[in-house]
Amino acid sequence: MRRVAAPIAVLALLCAATSARAAVPDDPALVTLAAAGGSASLPDQWWAARSGFFGAWGLVGGAPATVAVIDTGVDASHPEIGPQLLAAVDQDGDPAHGPATVDENGHGTHVASLACATPGNGIGIAGAGLGCRLIVEKTDLTDASIAASIGDAVGRGADAINMSFGTDDGRKPSKVLVDAVDDAYAKGVVLVAAAADRPTREQGQPANLLQPRGSGSDLSAGKGLTVTAATSADVRAPFAGRGSEISLAAYGAVDGDRGSPGLLGAFPGNSTVLERGGPGPQAAGCGCRTNYRGDARWAYLSGTSMAAPQVAATAALVRRLNPDLRVADILKLLKRTARRPAGAGWTPDLGWGILDADAAMRAAGRLDRTPPSSRIVLAAPVGGGSVALRWRGRDAAPPGVRSSGVQTYEVWRATGDGPAERIATTSGTTVLVPVRPGVRARYFTVAVDRQGNREPRPSGADRGRTRTF
């Protein structure tokens, strides 16, 4: 599993300026100087402003987004987690482990808080998804458990699913896992996986299912996003995966000479596996728990695991802002709006760049995927063997999305029992068409907007939109 790397040094970097429409909750980590383990000149949640979340949050409205976190469970008693918890499902077959509302490891609580920690409660951080609801799926990391978790999260209405784990054991992905990924993609759920926590070009499963080898540089390729970790210096973290399976990056670490041990997030009240350590690079334990403003249920952790939930939460916000977007639209949008040097494209270190939530939300607001509509309001015979047709049309869009506007109307006619044929294309709302005496005809219009969205053709005689002679 993509567990945290050893704590890496110090928090730095001044948060970027925000626009007048920025929405900043009163969570102290966003707006007050570091309380523990870092530079005294910067807030602990520096990454929120740097990644454009203040601007993105200003565009959030309506029902909250829903993010599923497949991980080690969560401490549901934590004030940053409990109020956001929509469902907690135990997909972990180990009887020694508790329910999904208990996190023996610590990893899941931290990851979930970065995605959806309660905003505006004045006690800690604000999750990237600004009040997003949490679906927690506790997994034992078998393919069957992961697939069941994906399926359950899709069924519960997740907008995005975060998977901050991975294995590279050389096996081909199992059919059950492939089918779960394909089903989520087909049902409009954005899948996000963490890249490896080592500088390898093979990111393991499920990352290599979402962005297969060789496809990272193709803006339109993939069924999800594989996220590597950037540092506060805007470069790939030394421990993070790279190569052709990387979609984009998000902040998961701080620059090595800055003096802070990672990203601040919620942590269980119980003793955790991460603290106790075990085989491998974390043998001595993470040493990550911190006392934040009098509460010891916090930790500083670094890793691709910390970067991925920021991307998943952003994808969920985009989905809520513009529910007509396809998964392919959202994947391309997040890549295209990622922050990178002017003129630079995809690179093996950062993929398409570092997440820019504000740019992603603004781009989503300009991407009209809602078909326009039209309705014939007059179809009357006139002299000279003609019929005058008049119609109304509109190009509606979800709140917060800018309509592209109707570009043209197609006028269709069906005579007798024959198929309909297009008889005119116009930007206006009236047309005079010839008729043959004694021939029964049915007319309807199809509107097309400036982004190419087409109004569906009516089936049968839709009396609200057609007239028969």
Q: What is the pLDDT of residues 391-448, one digit of tens each?
A: 999 999 999 999 999 999 999 999 877 889 999 999 999 999 988 777 888 899 999 9
Amino acid at 211: Q
- Polymer length in residues for the chain: 469
196/366 Cα distance (integer angstroms):
34
pLDDT band at 2 (very low <50, low <70, confident <90, very high): low
225-230 and 248-251 beta bridge pairing: parallel
Beta bridge partners of 425: 410
- Least confident range from 19-28, 30-39, 136-145: namely 30-39
pLDDT band at 257 (very low <50, low <70, confident <90, very high): very low
Determine the pLDDT at residue 374: 96
Determine the pLDDT at residue 255: 82
CA distances in angstroms from 114 to 34, 97, 191, 201, 290, listed in the order given:
17, 23, 17, 26, 16
First to last CA, the chain: 68
158/384 Cα distance (integer angstroms):
59
CA torsion, ordered 344, 319, 197, 10, to nearest 10 deg = 80
441-449 and 263-266 beta bridge pairing: unpaired
Q: What does the H/E/C string look like for 208-264?
A: HHHCCCCCCCCCCCCCCEEEEEECCCCCECCCCCCCCCCCEEEECCCCCCCCCCCEE
Q: What percent of the chain clears pLDDT 70, i.e. is strictly above it?
A: 89
pLDDT at 101 over 70: yes
446/101 Cα distance (integer angstroms):
51
Contacts of 214 (CB under 8 A, 6+ apart): 244
pLDDT top residue among 198 and 15:
198
Return the sign of the alpha-carbon dihedral for residues 307, 311, 312, 317.
positive
Q: What share of the chain is helix, strand, coil (3-state, %, to 5)?
A: 20, 25, 55
296/298 Cα distance (integer angstroms):
6
Sheet of 289-292, strand order: 263-266, 295-301, 289-292
pLDDT tens track for 267-301:
999 999 999 987 655 567 899 999 999 999 999 99
Phi-psi region of 287 (alpha: psi -120 to 50; beta: other; left: phi over 0): left
Nearest partner of 78 among 40, 110, 45, judged by Cα? 110
pLDDT at 224 over 80: yes
Q: Counting Cβ atoms within 10 Å, is residue 186 exposed (0-12), middle (13-18) or buried (19+)?
A: exposed
Amino acid at 121: N
76/434 Cα distance (integer angstroms):
70
Determine the pLDDT at residue 167: 83
Determine the pLDDT at residue 12: 34
pLDDT top residue among 22 and 416:
416
pLDDT at 35 over 80: no
Is residue 446 within 8 Å of residue 454, measured between CB atoms?
yes
- Counting DSSP H helices and E strands in the chain, the numbers are 11, 17
CA distances in angstroms from 440 to 145, 409, 416, 436, 469, listed in the order given:
61, 23, 6, 9, 5
- In the numeric block, which tokens belong to residue 391? 């119609």
Amino acid at 14: L
Q: Counting Cβ atoms within 10 Å, is residue 429 exposed (0-12), middle (13-18) or buried (19+)?
A: middle
Task: Enumerate domains of the chain plus CATH numbers.
Answer: 28-366 (3.40.50.200), 373-468 (2.60.40.10)
168/162 Cα distance (integer angstroms):
18
pLDDT at 34 over 80: no
49/31 Cα distance (integer angstroms):
10
Distance of alpha carbon 54 from the chain centroid? 16
pLDDT tens track for 209-220:
999 999 999 999
pLDDT top residue among 258 and 459:
459
